[in-house]
Amino acid sequence: MTDARVTLDTITSLAKRRGFIFQSSEIYGGLASCWDFGPLGVELKNNVKNLWWKHVVRMRDDVTGMDSSILMHPDVWVASGHVGAFHDMLVDCMNCKTRVREDHLENGKCPRCGGSEFTEPKKFQLMFKTHAGSTEGGTMDIWLRPETCQGIFVDFKLMQTASRLKVPFGIAQIGKSFRNEVTTKSFIFRSREFEQMEMEFFCKSDEADQWYEHWRDARWNWYIDHVGVKKENLKLAPHAPENLAHYAKAAVDIVYNFPFGWNEIEGVHNRTDFDLKSHQEHAKKELLYFDQETNEKFIPWVIETSAGVERCCLVAMCDAYDEDEIGGEKRTVLRFKHAIAPIKVAVFPLQKNPELQVPARKIYEELNDSFNCVFDVAGNIGRRYRRQDEIGTPYCVTIDFDSLNDQAVTIRERDTTEQVRIGMDKVKSWLLEKLL
């Protein structure tokens, strides 16, 4: 294992070459800050989402899940504060004409040319606007949601009644969000279309500090224990009181040491009763919670955990990336945690001939309903191992000529490259024990 940090260019080119992530609409010259996930990328993304869902929703009996609509009534975004306050202040550099966020100037200088003269700052709305309805029936201006949590707040009553959960409890969802971001570099770190994994935990106001700490710690541990991020590459960055969002009483970012510096992957916020109160006022619908034990009616406070799926994928790739030497040959390896690896097992017949291919295919088909597997016959065995190392496949199963006599196969482990010989009838249970 080496300590060298990977560059963003290396990750970007590996991601493209091996089918993780491509530029959107590439044949038309691409669309800035929009990305397509290829065969391995979609598996990686699904693994991240499933892992989050497992630990935030499925394994807890105080959190339930939902999937709300991307398009919502436009008043939602007035109540949430986005129509009034979700904008960047932009300036144009007088020298090179680059438009840049005022808060992204480097010591008051243009990050592109170093110029120090700018136009007056202008407001730039970050939500994408679109229209619902045909022109005949009249159209309505609506927004693409810039965060998924508002779907949770506006359905709070319906969800609480349907789930019969009592405060304290949480509602979680994963879904697309859209922001017309001005700064569009750093690969998938900041996109215009991305997915969020958000959880809103409703509690009594006097228990909010305790739940805030609980969720901050739970989310920190998730990155280390389940995504496999190295502790030294993670930090907690609490927001100073003067930098808190308009709705927050306390906030902390979980930040990662990306190749381009420490940046946020997830935010944990104490949102107070701001959102439910504001929707209650704007929608003129009561959003009080009735506590049957105490006969009290109140608006719960909310602790939010909000993570980006793509940012988490980028963290997983950067943190797993390694280069070492095997038998004097340099290799690239993604040391993914098993749950994160897009492919769990690769099955190889040593050579292409049917004598080996038929039993190899049989093993592949047996494994395929339990794990995501690939079958590969192309190239020498060393090259096939390297191909799997580079995409982070934990195990490779090889069927050779001895297999025909001893009914056993070789299983090679990615990180150590150690090999064990296992009877064909035990391959599945051996892998199940290692992988699940």
Given the rule CB under 6 A, which residues bind ligand GAP? 147, 149, 179, 181, 190-191, 194, 196, 198, 264-267, 304, 306-308, 310-311
Classify burial at 404, counting beta carbons within 10 Å of its beta carbon; exposed 0-12, middle 13-18, buried 19 or more. exposed
Buried b (16+ CB within 10 A) or exposed e, 252-288: bbbbbbbbeeebbbbbbbbbbbbbbebbbeeeeeebe
The nearer residue to ligand GAP, 314 or 345, going by C-beta atoms, is: 314
How many Å apart are CA 202 and CA 272, to the nearest integer? 9
How many Å apart are CA 117 and CA 137, to the nearest integer? 49
The nearer residue to ligand GAP, 95 or 180, going by C-beta atoms, is: 180
Phi, psi of 424 (to 5 degrees): -55, -35
Nearest residue (beta carbon) to ligand GAP: 308
- Cβ–Cβ under 8 Å, residues 253 and 267: yes
The nearer residue to ligand GAP, 310 or 376, going by C-beta atoms, is: 310
Classify burial at 425, counting beta carbons within 10 Å of its beta carbon; exposed 0-12, middle 13-18, buried 19 or more. exposed
Min. distance of Cβ 248 from ligand GAP in angstroms? 9
How many Å apart are CA 15 and CA 218, to the nearest integer? 30
How many Å apart are CA 76 and CA 150, to the nearest integer? 7
Min. distance of Cβ 398 from ligand GAP in angstroms? 40
The nearer residue to ligand GAP, 194 or 211, going by C-beta atoms, is: 194
Q: Which two tokens stand for residue 284?
A: 């003129």
The nearer residue to ligand GAP, 266 or 389, going by C-beta atoms, is: 266
Min. distance of Cβ 368 from ligand GAP in angstroms? 33
Residues 6+ apart with CB under 8 A from 140: 74, 131, 132, 133
How many Å apart are CA 16 and CA 354, to the nearest integer? 33
CA atoms within 13 A on the CB side of 15: 28
Min. distance of Cβ 149 from ligand GAP in angstroms? 4
The nearer residue to ligand GAP, 274 or 348, going by C-beta atoms, is: 274
Min. distance of Cβ 44 from ligand GAP in angstroms? 15
Min. distance of Cβ 219 from ligand GAP in angstroms? 11
Q: Which two tokens stand for residue 412?
A: 């090679």
The nearer residue to ligand GAP, 186 or 398, going by C-beta atoms, is: 186
Nearest residue to 299 (alpha-carbon basis) of 309, 285, 320: 285
Nearest residue to 184 (alpha-carbon basis) of 25, 9, 32: 32
Min. distance of Cβ 163 from ligand GAP in angstroms? 21
Min. distance of Cβ 142 from ligand GAP in angstroms? 19
The nearer residue to ligand GAP, 256 or 348, going by C-beta atoms, is: 256
Min. distance of Cβ 123 from ligand GAP in angstroms? 18
The nearer residue to ligand GAP, 183 or 368, going by C-beta atoms, is: 183
